[in-house]
Chain A
Amino acid sequence: GAGVSQSPSNKVTEKGKDVELRCDPISGHTALYWYRQRLGQGLEFLIYFQGNSAPDKSGLPSDRFSAERTGESVSTLTIQRTQQEDSAVYLCASSLWGFEPQHFGDGTRLSIL
């Protein structure tokens, strides 16, 4: 079956531009997570959506970062006024519900020039 799909797979942009990253979770999965992975580092939690509950935004590093999810489907992560330190791989994961194993997409590699 289809796994978690992320687009674009690579994004190169200039400092100060806004970027939007997309995640299509596995159908039927109610929980969706965004992570950031810097080179050689572990996964850093950003935000968590569970059904219609208010999202857990506790991992967003600044107010330049925001995310939305429509129901139990597509999610977008937006980074405004990008900075060079935003360069990383952004990974999305979904699970049946909050405590089930997470299934990851292959990420969006973001490079800020």
Chain B
Amino acid sequence: EDQVTQSPEALRLQEGESSSLNCSYTVSGLRGLFWYRQDPGKGPEFLFTLYSAGEEKEKERLKATLTKKESFLHITAPKPEDSATYLCAAPVEGGSEKLVFGKGTKLTVNP
């Protein structure tokens, strides 16, 4: 069964304290991995797509990386406005465009 697992479930950081969120997946023949940010009461907001192992993408304080078995979302010197739930998702096997989502990591950045 296709599965996407995120860890930790929740993470508290002090402003400026860098860290990483993990997304591991069991989908074979990965055709892409997506990262989203979700604020309370809002729909997920697209951040990155990674297509192949070794690929990296950056946006402001966020950098996403991909290996053959997992992806990391690195947050450098976070600010309180980075507080949100971060979701990763991967297409299911078999060529479908359906995505399977992880349960997310709730990030809180304290000032």
The 8 A CB mask of B32-73 against A (1 = contact, 0 = none) is 101010000111111001000000000000000000000000
Closest to A4 in B: B43
A70-113 residues with Cβ-Cβ distance < 8 A to B are 91, 93, 98-99, 101-107
A42 adjacent to B32 (CB under 8 Å): no
Interface size class of chain B, counting residues whose CB lies under 8 Å from the partner chain = 20 to 34
B100 at the interface (CB under 8 A from A): yes
B97-A103 in contact (CB<8A): no
Contact B43 A98 (CB under 8 A): no
Do residues B97 and A98 form an inter-chain contact, with CB atoms below 8 A?
yes
Residue in A closest to B43 when the chains form the complex, CB atoms: A104
Pick from B43, B87, B97: contact of A50, CB below 8 A. Answer: B97
Task: Give the distance in Å from the alpha carbon of A33 to the alpha carbon of B99 in the complex.
Answer: 10
Given contacts A42-B102, A42-B103, A99-B32, contact A106 B97 (CB under 8 A): no
Known pairs A42-B101, A45-B98. 5 more at Cβ < 8 A?
A: A35-B101, A42-B87, A50-B97, A59-B98, A101-B46
What is the interface of chain A, defined by CB distance below 8 A to chain B?
Answer: 4, 31, 33, 35, 40-43, 45, 48, 50, 56, 58-59, 91, 93, 98-99, 101-107
